[in-house]
Structure 1
Amino acid sequence: MLSTGLPQGTVPKLERPGPLRERVYEALLELITTRALRPGQHLVESELAGHLGVSRQPVREALQRLNTEGWVDLWPAQGAFVHEPTEEEADQLLTVRTLLETEAARLAAAGADAAGVAALEELCARGEAAVADGDVDLVVATNAAFHAKVMELGGNAVLAELAGQVDRRVRWYYTPVARQRGIQSWVEHRALIAAIAARDEARAVDVMRAHTEHTRRTYHDRAQP
């Protein structure tokens, strides 16, 4: 295994067509957000290029872009490293997430139809099964899909766009606590579905606020005994 340390089978396939630099950027971002590349990990251009089957130039360009966006730190004479988020960064992001998600829950309760509620129930069942199987990657992906569906049901395109901008960072912070949150997260999702199905906007807001705040507190408490 190369010193970059990517687990077998984690390197995404580079889809074609499309600009190579964009495909390399997306591949590296996916590896970071899923924590296949861990916070603080040294990123060696030549090794990443070998993993992805490309030259070093698009890797260098992707790392520079990821640095600009705060995913990668570039240190003179040391190289590139996956950014290690501070507690303050996480708190700010997860607080903003609460604001966006509670409004989405209110709008979903105001306008969701039976088909929308059924879609949420299907995603919830999928998430519960993933927890039972101990499949953390699927839990994280299904959690993201569930929240995206709530956002979609809210019907506010601007709100959905803003949520989309923070979605990958939310996944990044959620991954290390997904196992700890476990089935309780999906119990909370069930309560949210019930509020949306009942068209109870106030209840949907309260449930979503408590749900997202629980995740925020769990993240901050994760390293404590």
Structure 2
Amino acid sequence: MPAFEAKPGMPYWQDLVTTQPQKAAYFYAKLLGWEVSNDAYRVARKEGLPVAGIVGAETDLLGWTPYFLGLGTDGVEKLGGEVISTADVALGQMTICQDRTGCPFGLIEPHGEDQFVAAGEPGVPVWHEYIAPSQDAIDFYAELFDWEVVRDGNYFIAMEDGAPFLGMLLDETAGVSLWQTYFGVENLEHALMTVGNFGGQVISGPVASPFGLIAIAEDATGAGFHLCEVAVPEFDDIRESDSILDL
């Protein structure tokens, strides 16, 4: 599986906080082909590469939460956000925060020097999107992470070296702020059938988008997520000794 080295401020990880972690683990294993550990902090892997965590908890912060790489927590509070909690796990130091609107997000400082994340392909996250009720909510993240942001109408795209890595939708009618995670699938129609077969629910879609066919769904525990149809990458003459950075 191809991967890329994340830069500070880029999405690096995602956790699902749920009151039914075992049920959630089974659902995503069937839908996305994950292998999920049975520890208290369940780590989901795709072809051996860690892609997400599943956490059992009784909390108001249920659902998927993205984690951004590094940068510490000082800037969060200086910009009007809040640091909620910090934990040291096998992957590194993970901190839950809230932005100025009260929307949860995470920061992670991985253990070790290699900071590789799964690339956008079936079975792994391919996009993150923030629903913002105000321009101020978007400005919080742009300033915190020093993102290069390009605006197209009410849509804001964060860029790194000329490539987009997440989007932010300004929707002043939304009333709430929300981070959404898109997972890649090879065949969206088949994936939506799998959602229903294993206790989930299709909320809307499929619809065409600039990124491909997308749909909104809920997993078997009621947590919302998005699916996006993406192509399986093809590589010629790859050997196990080849550097992952050259792929």
Q: Per the shorter chain, which TM-score range?
A: under 0.3
Greater relative contact order (Cα 8 A, min sep 6): structure 1 or 2? 1
**Which protein is richer in strand relative to its size?**
2
TM normalised by structure 2 equals 0.23
